[in-house]
Structure 1
Amino acid sequence: MHPRRPEGFDGLGFRGGREEPGLGHWVSTPPDIPGSRNLHWGEKTPQLVAGTPLGASGLGEDPSGGGPNASTEQLNRFAGFGIGLASLFTENVLAHPCIVLRRQCQVNYHAKNYHLTPFTIINIMYSINKTQGPRALWKGMGSTFIVQGITLGAEGIISEFTPLPRELSYKWSPKQIGEHLVLKGLTYMIAMPFYSASLIETVQSEIIRDNTGILDCLKEGIGRALGFGVPHSKRLLPLLALTFPTVLHGVLHYIISSAVQKLVLFFLKKENSHNLATDNSSSVQSMLDAYFPELIASFAASLCADVILYPLETVLHRLHIQGTRTIIDNTDLGYEVLPINTQYEGMRDCINTIKQEEGVLGFYKGFGAVVVQYTLHVAILQFTKILYSTLLQNVS
């Protein structure tokens, strides 16, 4: 589902095929869907930092031949693949229970406990797992991947048949940026009904939930777009009313994450180049410097965008879930269920109602799940770094 991108693309900037020490080729994170997590794809895994002993080979020597250098290079490649895979697995699988609880807390206007800290979130996770089983924390995971695939596919198709640029050239102009963001907005509009269906799957209580197929997200998304299928109440907001908040959240998330990613990469590259110039780093450290800046930058970008836009995401989820006859878990107790019976007239009414009835902190219900999610991500990245550093030291 993911089309190929030009080498050297990294968010809102494009290096135009230029080589940069320690980074190699990379692409930006795929377009973000509100509230979902993204897969971070790359065309090529960066291999070695220029000028390091790992890449050195004498004249007439075959780097693919036998010997310690060949085994070290093979381990380096395996390390790069493993590090990236661990990051993807953590972000899209291990963190999914945090996404489920986060969304349930956001749409639960009944809740007295806002779960602003990770301690209460962990406690409610345990209660739900105890009463409903582990499946209740991983519900809707397949639909989130479907939404990501639809988003990437829609972006590729639109960019092929319209003059809207999917990537920005190195010498970009304000017009190119505007057209690029228009493409992102159109992509979010197309994925919007499927995102609504995915949101329902992730917050619907497992107690009253029927066995759903992996393609139900597609069926219900098409039904939502065409106005048939699963019965809804009269409080259901039309997709036209959801377009502005959905596109606003998606575009802002993309802008913030791309800007933060570029900024973090800039400082990490500057620091790594300074270390290489002043200190003869070991081959192990050079390998780690080649892989981890991209992962750290991507992690920081997603974290900043999620934190800054969390209130808007809460409003967006409540508007999407209204009128869908969804039954969620009681996030105060960890058992029992609650219906969603909101009657917001639109985005402005939703913001005013939350502020008046739940206070400013009502926009941050479930924020503890974000803390748990990114703490888990940091722990996995650090563990993976230590593991591969130890392996490479033993080999060398």
Structure 2
Amino acid sequence: MASRRPDSFDGLGYRGREEPLYGSGFPLRGTGAFADPQLQQWVTTPPDIPGSRNLHPGGDRTPFDGPQTEPRGPPGAAADWGAPPASFPPTDQVNRFAGFGIGLVSLFTENVLSHPCIVFRRQCQVNYHAHCYHLTPFSAVAVMYSISKAQGVKALWKGMGSTFIVHGVTLGAEGIISEFTPLPRELPHRWSWKELAGHLLLKGLTAVVVLPFYCASLVETVQSEIVRDESASGLLDCVREGLARLLHVGAPHSRRLLPLSCLLLPAALHAILRYAMSTTVQQVALWFYQRGRKQRSEPSNPLDAYFPELVAAWAGSLVADVALFPLETALHRLSLQGTRTIIDATDGVVATGAGASPLVLPVNTQYDGLSDCLHTIRRKEGGAGYYRGFGALVAQYTLHGALLAAARMLLRVMLLDTRTG
């Protein structure tokens, strides 16, 4: 494209012809020296880029707003092109780096570093033989260390690949169901009760579709490494075992194996309640944060665009997992019943023969359904039986929260160095 700039253009000294592109269509933003009517031909306000208002903490003002300074030299002189340009903080880059860093730490902690706590919590939930309920994180961490010392570090990361597969199947099933049904995948800002009911129904149907693969993943996470056949195990075992249980094919199971129809209601109920509780707590926490921020009138911080949402999501998941811990315990016991799974003893390491190795136990339960499972736990194990492995849950969220706080502190220091540098 050929330039429309005249050959005699020398900056602000040019006073030539009228340009229709730069005229009264764009009002002047400043009221200083550049408000001279003679300069209105060239000194105008460029149009705002869509979405650029969200990149600057000042609201509608951009980093280029503010009182204009007097131009150097006499009027009509050429601009000082050799002067160093004004330095503005790279707000866009800082925001993206802060959001990516904190989000990556949260995702890595939730899915990788917290996996040993999830493994041990599930083992405690299905181990009705154990004398120690591990209601505090101290006893849970001690036994986790003993198991990893006896079987290796990978013993606490077993089944991590299957959990990723379950997450992927969940996202895929939810997307497919929402595409072929009128059930909304996301709620609008102003939703109706019909839309809310359809959205929750979508979550329940997704849990029902994923249930066979979730049961297969549960077996992989709680099964002892001592009886695991490494040569026959693969990454897609979760998918194969889930399809085998759905189609009633493959290796024969015990007669106590419950059909999937008996697990549909507990699985859908747990998924819907967990989603509803976590989302409600998350929205309430964000509302309180925004309200307190308006009252304090604190200066804007790039971390405030990302960190509060992660903390609210952390709090929502914590409240939902604590409130639904008894239902999760019953669901895991019903899902594992009749699968002939052998788990590690959660009471610690016992000496057998020449060395020390963890004792393994079979899972032999005879529940008829959800109500029978809840009543049996209450009668034989007491109220604390619903919360076996609760200490591992506390350790999981403590680790997650501590790493989020450490990441926020580290990024805050890096941002201060960037601004002062």
Q: TM-score, normalised by structure 2?
A: 0.78
Q: What is the CA–CA distance in structure 1 between the aligned matches of 2:55 and 2:167, rounded to whole Å?
A: 31
Alignment of 1:137-216 (within 5 A): 137-211=156-230, 212-216=233-237
Instruction: Look up the equivalent residue of 1:297 and give its one-letter code.
Output: A
Q: 1:338 to 1:390 in 2, by over 3 A?
A: same
Q: 1:63-120 CA deviation, whole Å, 9 max, x = no partner?
A: xxx8753545423321210111001101110000000000000000101000000000
What amino acid sits opposite 2:340 in the alignment? R
- The aligned residue for residue 105 of structure 2 is 86
8 Å CA contact 1:83, 1:384 repeated in 2: yes
Distance 1:139 1:272, change over 3 A: same
- In the aligned structure 1, how far is the partner of 2:280 from the partner of 2:273? 11
Larger mean Cα displacement after TM superposition, 158-167 or 92-101: 158-167
Distance between the aligned counterparts of 2:165 and 2:61, measured in 1? Answer: 40
Equivalent position of 1:20 in the other structure: none
Q: Is the 8 A contact 1:330 1:338 kept in 2?
A: yes
Match for 1:354: what amino acid?
I
The Cα RMSD (Å) is: 2.2
Distance 1:90 1:55 in 2: 36
Deviates more, 1:196-205 or 1:179-188: 179-188
Q: What is the rounded CA distance, in whole Å, between the counterparts of 1:392 and 1:330 in structure 2?
A: 48
* Mapped contact 2:95–2:303 kept (Cα < 8 A): no
Cα drift, residue 273 of structure 1:
2.6
Contact residue 327 and residue 339 of structure 1 kept, 8 A: yes
Q: 1:327 corresponds to which residue?
A: 342
**Letter paired with 1:146:** I
User: Matches of 2:306 and 2:88 in 1, distance apart?
Assistant: 19
Question: Residue 111 of structure 1 contacts residue 331 of structure 1 at CA under 8 Å; is this kept in 2?
Answer: yes
1:19-42 superposed Cα distances (whole Å, 9 cap, x missing partner): xxxxxxxxxxxxxxxxxxxxxxxx
1:253-292 aligned at under 5 Å gives the runs 253-276=274-297, 279=298, 281=299, 286-292=301-307
Match of 2:143 among 111, 124, 127: 124
Equivalence for 1:304: 319
With over 3 angstroms needed to count, the CA separation of the structure-2 counterparts of 1:364 and 1:67, relative to structure 1, is farther
Mapped pair 1:219 → 2:226 = no
Inter-partner Cα distance in structure 2 for 1:247 and 1:117: 29
Q: Is the 8 A contact 1:47 1:290 kept in 2?
A: no
Unaligned runs of 5+ in 1: 1-43, 61-65
- What residue in structure 1 maps to residue 267 of structure 2? 246
Q: Which residue in 2 is equivalent to 1:114?
A: 133
- How many equivalent pairs are there? 342
CA distance in 1, matches of 2:110, 2:56: 26
Report the more deviating stretch, 72-81 or 158-167. Answer: 72-81
Aligned partners of 2:133 and 2:362: how far apart in 1?
18
How many Å separate the matches in 1 of 2:251 and 2:295? 59
Q: Deviations over 1:229-252 (max 9, x none)?
A: 232110000000010111111110
1:73–1:174 distance in 2 versus 1, CA, 3 Å: closer
Given that residues 55 and 91 in structure 2 are in contact (C-alpha distance below 8 angstroms), is that contact kept between their aligned partners in structure 1?
no
Q: Which runs of 5+ in 2 are unaligned?
A: 1-50, 69-84, 350-357
TM-score by length of 1: 0.82
In the alignment, which of 136, 144, 150 is matched to residue 155 of structure 2? 136
Deviation (angstroms), 1:386: 0.7
Check 1:273–1:48 CA distance in 2 against 1; reply closer, same or farther (3 A cut).
farther
State the Cα distance separating 1:346 from its structure 2 match.
0.7
Residue 245 of structure 2 aligns with an amino acid whose one-letter code is: R
- The one-letter code matched in structure 2 to 1:322 is Q
Q: In structure 2, what is the Cα distance between the partners aligned to 1:344 and 1:259?
A: 33
d(CA) in 1 for partners of 2:379 and 2:173?
Answer: 39
> Of the two structures, which has the highest relative contact order with CA contacts closer than 8 Å and spacing of 6 or more?
1
The amino acid that maps onto 2:360 is: V
Distance between the aligned counterparts of 1:168 and 1:245, measured in 2?
Answer: 24
CA distance in 1, matches of 2:112, 2:86: 38
1:196–1:321 Cα contact (<8 Å) kept: yes
> CA offsets per residue over residues 294-336 of structure 1, 9 Å max, x none?
0111000100000000000000000000000000000002411
Distance (whole Å) between structure 1 residues aligned to residue 54 and residue 138 of structure 2 = 40
After TM superposition, the structure 1 stretch with the greater mean CA deviation from structure 2, 78-87 or 319-328, is 78-87
1:178-225 C-alpha deviation (Å, 9 max, x unpaired): 111111111110000000000000000011111221111011111111
- In 1, Cα distance between equivalents of 2:199 and 2:59: 38
Return the alpha-carbon distance in structure 2 between the equivalents of residues 55 and 110 of structure 1: 65
Change (3 A) 1:53 1:72: farther
The equivalent position to 1:373 in structure 2, one of 396, 417, 420, is: 396
Larger-gyration structure (1/2): 2
- Label 1:54 to 1:377 Cα distance change in 2 as closer, same or farther (>3 A): farther
Deviations 1:226-275 (A, max 9, x none): 11123211000000001011111111001101111111111111122333
CA distance in 1, matches of 2:65, 2:360: 69
Partner Cα distance (2:145, 2:87) in 1: 48
Query: CA 1:196/1:53 → structure 2, altered by over 3 Å: closer, same or farther?
Result: same
Letter in 2 for 1:195: Y
Assess if the C-alpha contact under 8 Å between 1:220 and 1:230 holds in 2: no
CA distance in 1, matches of 2:65, 2:189: 36
**Aligned equivalents of 2:91, 2:208: Cα separation in 1:** 47
